[in-house]
Amino acid sequence: MIRIEALPAKHGDCLWVEWDDGPRLRRMLIDGGPGGTRELPTGLAARFARQPENQREFELVVCTHIDDDHLAGLLPLLTAPPKNFSARDIWFNALEHTGPADTLGVVGAQRLTECLRSGRHPWNVATSGEPIAVPTRTGPPQFPLRGLTLTLLSPWAEQLTALRAHWQRATAARARRQARDVLGGTDLFDGADARTLARLAARPYHADDKAPNGSSIAFLAEHPDGSRVLFGADAHAEALVRSLHRVWHGNDFPVSLVKAPHHGSAHNTSRELVAALRCANWLISTDGGHGHRTRFADGRSTHPAPEAVARIMVRNAAAGRPGAPHTTLWFNHRSPSTERYAAPSLRELGLRAEYPRDDNRGIAVAVSRGTVFRDRGTSRPEGPVPE
Is residue 297 helix, strand or coil? Answer: coil
What pLDDT, on a 0 to 100 scale, did the predictor assign at position 186? 40
| Residue among 308, 353, 348, 351 at smallest CA distance from 334 | 353
Q: At the top level of CATH, which class does the domain 2-100+109-374 belong to?
A: alpha beta
Q: Give the start-to-end residue ranges of the domains of the chain.
A: 2-100+109-374
What pLDDT, on a 0 to 100 scale, did the predictor assign at position 329? 98
- Residue 283 CA to its chain's centroid (Å): 8
In terms of Cβ atoms closer than 10 Å to its own Cβ (0-12, 13-18, 19+), residue 290 is middle
CA distance 342 to 362: 17
Question: CB within 8 A of 356, min separation 6: which ones?
Answer: 8, 331, 332, 333, 334, 362, 363
Between strands 24-30 and 228-231, the pairing is unpaired
Per residue of the chain (387 residues), give pLDDT as tens: 999 999 999 999 999 999 999 999 999 999 999 987 789 999 999 999 999 999 999 999 999 998 999 999 999 999 999 999 999 999 999 876 665 433 333 678 888 989 999 989 999 999 999 999 999 999 999 999 999 999 999 999 989 887 776 555 544 444 444 333 333 334 556 667 889 899 999 999 999 998 889 999 999 999 999 999 999 999 999 999 999 999 998 899 999 999 999 999 999 999 999 999 999 999 999 998 764 444 444 444 578 999 999 999 999 998 876 656 799 999 999 999 999 999 999 999 999 999 999 989 999 999 999 999 999 864 443 433 333
Q: What is the DSSP secondary structure assignment for residue 205, as one 8-state letter?
A: P
In 118-270, which residue ranges form alpha helices assigned H by DSSP?
157-176, 194-201, 211-214, 237-248
CA distance 307 to 266: 6
